[in-house]
Amino acid sequence: MKIILASLFPTLLALSIQAASIEGDIKLAYSGSAFAENAFKREFGDIVKATCKWYAGEFFGEETVFAGIMVKNTGTKTMFCHYYVAFFDKNKKIVGAAGQGSFG
């Protein structure tokens, strides 16, 4: 199994006036499946619960870093979110980045 060493720089999930971040060293597992069992998973957030799932794999013949997120609002107030993540190798060279957001 191929492992990519990545240093995760600040990841921001901005939720209205709330925010959460994750940073640190991780190992991205390489998977040939979109349902990667060995993906790096992290849950965070209080009212708005987020679960990120990160792994490396192949997409149309290119090695790709997949950085999906699932978000659930457990509160009663309508919330919007923006999610940004960047992955760097041990030499501080960017190997992948992603961003997504919700809209009303």
SS3 per residue for 12-79: EEEECCEEEEEEEEEEEEECCCCCCCCCEEEEECCCEEEEEEEEEEEECCEEEEEEEEEEEECCCCCC
- Check pLDDT > 80 for residue 7: no
What pLDDT, on a 0 to 100 scale, did the predictor assign at position 19? Answer: 67
What pLDDT, on a 0 to 100 scale, did the predictor assign at position 15? Answer: 35
pLDDT tens-digit readout, 41-100: 988 888 888 898 988 888 899 888 888 889 899 999 988 888 888 888 889 898 878 888
What distance, in Å, lies between the first and last C-alpha atoms of the chain? 41
> Looking at the whole model, is its pTM more than 0.75?
no
